[in-house]
Amino acid sequence: MIDVELLRTNPDLFRESQRARGGDVTAVDQALEADASRRVSLTEFETLRAQQNAFGKQVARAPKDEKAALVAQVRELADQVKQAEGRARTAEEQFSVAVRGIQNLVLEGVPEGGEDDFTVEREVGEHPRFDFEPKDHVAIGEHLGLFDLERGAKVSGARFYYLTGWGARLELALLNLALDQAIAGGFTPMITPTIVNPEIMQGTGFLDQHSDEIYHLDADDQYLTGTSEVALAGYHSDEIIDLTAGPKRYAGWSTCYRREAGSHGKDTRGILRVHQFNKLEMFVYTTPEQALAEHQRLLGWEEQMLQKVELPYRVINTAAGDLGSSAAQKFDTEAWIPTQQTYRELTSTSNCTTYQARRLGIRYRPEEGGKTAPVATLNGTLATTRWLVAILENHQQADGSVRVPAALRPYLGGIEAITPES
RNA sequence: GGAGACGUCGCAUAGUCUGGCCUAGUGCACCACCCUGCUAAGGUGGAGUCCCGAAUUUCGGGACCGAGGGUUCAAAUCCCUCCGUCUCCGCCA
């Protein structure tokens, strides 16, 4: 949720932000109107309620024989209170709907426009040159017995797979490498719930734009999470947290579920785009002042991971229209995929400023004993199953084996390459 | 899944049967001040969260007793639904 006070004092800020996103600019004026009428009806109700409360005390103090008369007198007032309360509640709900139509304020430096309007921040590493015809990750995986796509489809349908043998071990190695890096960086490791209640899913902002991407369990009215960001953001919901010792940094390990609705026919081959995968996610609660610097730190940790597994990549600054409703700025890192001759997203880090925290009621005290204020939340990817695609393709060798980057070897029994025999 | 108990201001508890002096009491912890040359102490006052409205340190009003409904002039208190915790039984990859 946006800062309503800022909306009142500086609505142009929000109009401009909505415009940059290609979003609904009229939502700003709708919210302003709804706010005004909500305050009017709230004052009406509270004035009447105050009268009623005062009267209630009179009734309580009055001698028995006078009570009946007083009660008769106040009956009409009670009715008015009830009606005013109803109006106030309706206005409150309308306001809440209107204000939810406004997405997070886009930060300075975010390019305007849609999916293709990102800017490239930097490219790192060299594209591999092969003196043989490189195979795509599916061919490599089949050759080395790393995953079983056919049986995945047989058991669970399209976009499901089994990781097998060294494939399973490679994923665990990657996630453990990421976890160890996170721990070294001061993150608290977490294994999170992957089923959450509606208010948590709502609070993170995923239900607005990505609702058809999310699995819903009808029998229980709960959601499967597409990232542990959801559970980690909900972790401190409705709490006043202590940030005096610095940011709270969590590293969430979880399976992620995505319906991939609307991507039919896209990336159907292999494990690039799947309904279920594993991920290690960084999530940070910090002060609004710290958020910008923390975002750069998260990006830095992501790049460290990419460098550890020796992948060529670029960093892009996502355009406003491609941001989630909660994000004020987002950087993706994309690894080079040789057989596609293009970059594909491996990580994504968002600065949600105070937007998510407002919705989820997460606050801190800027000054000891002072008033509370919403915290800033940020998230970023450290490793996912998808990374296997880039690792396999970039590190494949002429003999059909895949070289294991040095950083991963300790997690794979020390082997230097995955071969059909290993 | 069945039966029962419980959910109150940071923690621990009173209040619920019998609705209204509950503006939710008390203890501990906390903060300020006072007293005591040290120490467990003693005294006075303060202290929660959220919203609205005036005023440049503040004041007034409202909401919150797990959540949401209902009854009533009036609900922590009575009724219903849901959620959570605990105990017992049943079931269990």
The pLDDT tens digits for A385-403 are: 999 999 999 999 999 999 9
Assess if residue A109 is contained within a domain: no
Predicted confidence at residue A370, as pLDDT, reads 78
The active-site residue, picked from A21, A100, A159, A258, is: A258
> Which nucleotide is nearest, taking the CA of residue A38 and each C1'?
B52
**Whole-angstrom distance, CA of residue A165 vs CA of residue A369:** 56
The top-scoring range by mean pLDDT among A9-13, A100-104, A306-310 is A306-310
Question: Mind listing the pLDDT tens digit for each residue in A285-316?
Answer: 999 999 999 999 999 999 999 999 999 999 99
CA atom of A117 to C1′ atom of B41, Å: 71
CA atom of A304 to C1′ atom of B58, Å: 53
**Whole-angstrom distance, CA of residue A230 vs CA of residue A255:** 12
Residue A271 has phi, psi (to 5 degrees) of -110, 25
Is there a single domain that holds both residue A133 and residue A42? no
What's the Rg (C-alpha) of chain A? Answer: 27
Given a cut of 90, whether residue A320 has pLDDT beyond it is: yes
**CB A303, CB A282: distance < 8 Å:** no
Give the rounded percent of residues in chain A with a pLDDT score beyond 70. 100
Is there a single domain that holds both residue A212 and residue A330? yes
List the single protein residue with the shortest CA to C1' distance from B73: A71
**Whole-angstrom distance, CA of residue A78 vs CA of residue A73:** 10
Helix, strand, or coil (residue A335): strand
Is there a single domain that holds both residue A80 and residue A124? no
Assess if residue A108 is contained within a domain: no
For tokens 């819903």, name the residue.
Answer: A216
Domain count, chain A: 2
Assess if residue A289 is contained within a domain: yes
For tokens 């209107």, name the residue.
Answer: A98
Task: Calculate helix-pair angle for A64-100, A26-61, nearest 10 degrees.
Answer: 170
Is there a single domain that holds both residue A317 and residue A369? yes
Neighbours of A202 (CB within 10 A): 17
ipTM comes to: 0.85
Predicted confidence at residue A367, as pLDDT, reads 81
Please report the DSSP string for A147-189 in residue order. Answer: EEHHHHHHHH-TT--EE-THHHHHHHHHHHHHHHHHHHTTPEE
Given a cut of 90, whether residue A79 has pLDDT beyond it is: no
Angle at A195 between CA A277 and CA A286, to 5 degrees: 85
List the single protein residue with the shortest CA to C1' distance from B74: A56
Task: Calculate helix-pair angle for A11-21, A26-61, nearest 10 degrees.
Answer: 130
Predicted confidence band at A212 (pLDDT cuts at 50, 70, 90)?
confident
Is there a single domain that holds both residue A338 and residue A193? yes
Q: Catalytic site residue A49?
A: no
Predicted confidence band at A58 (pLDDT cuts at 50, 70, 90)?
confident
Is there a single domain that holds both residue A95 and residue A127? no
The active-site residue, picked from A344, A386, A393, A401, is: A386
- State the pairing for strand pair A402-403/A162-163: unpaired
Residue A61 has phi, psi (to 5 degrees) of -85, -25
Q: Catalytic site residue A61?
A: no
Predicted confidence at residue A59, as pLDDT, reads 80
Residue A305 has phi, psi (to 5 degrees) of -60, -45
Is there a single domain that holds both residue A89 and residue A149? no
Q: Which nucleotides of B are covered by protein (CB under 7 A)?
A: 20-21, 49-53, 61-63, 73-74
The active-site residue, picked from A112, A213, A239, A345, is: A345
Give the rounded percent of residues in chain A with a pLDDT score beyond 90. 76
Assess if residue A110 is contained within a domain: no
Least confident of A79-83, A175-179, A188-192: A79-83
Whether the predicted model's global pTM rises above the 0.90 cut:
yes
- A289 alpha-carbon distance from chain centroid: 20
B/e letters for A254-264, b = 16+ CB within 10 Å, e = fewer, are bebbbbbeeee
Predicted confidence at residue A244, as pLDDT, reads 86
Residues A119-127, mean pLDDT to the nearest whole number:
97
User: Which of A49, A71, A100 is at the close of a domain?
Assistant: A100
User: Which of A71, A100, A129 is at the close of a domain?
Assistant: A100
Assess if residue A107 is contained within a domain: no
Question: Mind listing the pLDDT tens digit for each residue in A221-236?
Answer: 899 999 999 999 999 9
Q: Catalytic site residue A409?
A: no
CATH code at position A185: 3.30.930.10
User: Range of A14's domain?
Assistant: 4-100
- A340 alpha-carbon distance from chain centroid: 28
Given a cut of 80, whether residue A62 has pLDDT beyond it is: no
**Whole-angstrom distance, CA of residue A126 vs CA of residue A307:** 11
Question: Could you tell me the two tokens for A65?
Answer: 């024989």
Please give, chain by chain, protein residues whose CB is below 7 Å from any atom of strand B.
Answer: A 4, 39, 42-43, 45-47, 49-50, 52-56, 59-60, 67, 71, 74-75, 77-78, 81-82, 240, 363, 371-372
Distant-in-sequence, close-in-space partners of A404: CB < 8 Å, separation ≥ 6: A395, A412, A415, A416, A417, A418
Dihedral through CA A16, CA A330, CA A283, CA A314, nearest 10? -170
Question: Mind listing the pLDDT tens digit for each residue in A333-352?
Answer: 999 999 999 999 999 999 99
Predicted confidence at residue A227, as pLDDT, reads 95
Assess if residue A135 is contained within a domain: yes
Burial class (CB in 10 A: 0-12, 13-18, 19+), A227: buried
Is there a single domain that holds both residue A341 and residue A209? yes
Q: Catalytic site residue A211?
A: no
CA atom of A375 to C1′ atom of B51, Å: 20
Give me the sign of the Cα torsion angle A272, A251, A416, A131: positive
CA atom of A61 to C1′ atom of B42, Å: 39
The active-site residue, picked from A273, A365, A403, A409, is: A273
Is there a single domain that holds both residue A95 and residue A187? no
DSSP state of A70: H
**CB A321, CB A114: distance < 8 Å:** yes
Given a cut of 80, whether residue A268 has pLDDT beyond it is: yes
Q: Catalytic site residue A345?
A: yes
Predicted confidence band at A169 (pLDDT cuts at 50, 70, 90)?
very high
Is there a single domain that holds both residue A88 and residue A174? no
Assess if residue A75 is contained within a domain: yes
CATH code at position A70: 1.10.287.40
CA atom of A421 to C1′ atom of B49, Å: 64
Question: Could you tell me the two tokens for A398?
Answer: 């002429």
Predicted confidence at residue A11, as pLDDT, reads 94
Residue A347 has phi, psi (to 5 degrees) of -135, 165
CA atom of A234 to C1′ atom of B53, Å: 33
Is there a single domain that holds both residue A123 and residue A51? no
Dihedral through CA A41, CA A47, CA A51, CA A54, nearest 10? 130
Given a cut of 80, whether residue A240 has pLDDT beyond it is: yes
User: Which of A75, A100, A125 is at the close of a domain?
Assistant: A100
Assess if residue A105 is contained within a domain: no
> Which nucleotide is nearest, taking the CA of residue A73 and each C1'?
B73
Residues A115-140, mean pLDDT to the nearest whole number:
96
Task: From A329, A304, A382, select the one nearest A124 (Cα to Cα).
Answer: A304
Is there a single domain that holds both residue A95 and residue A209? no
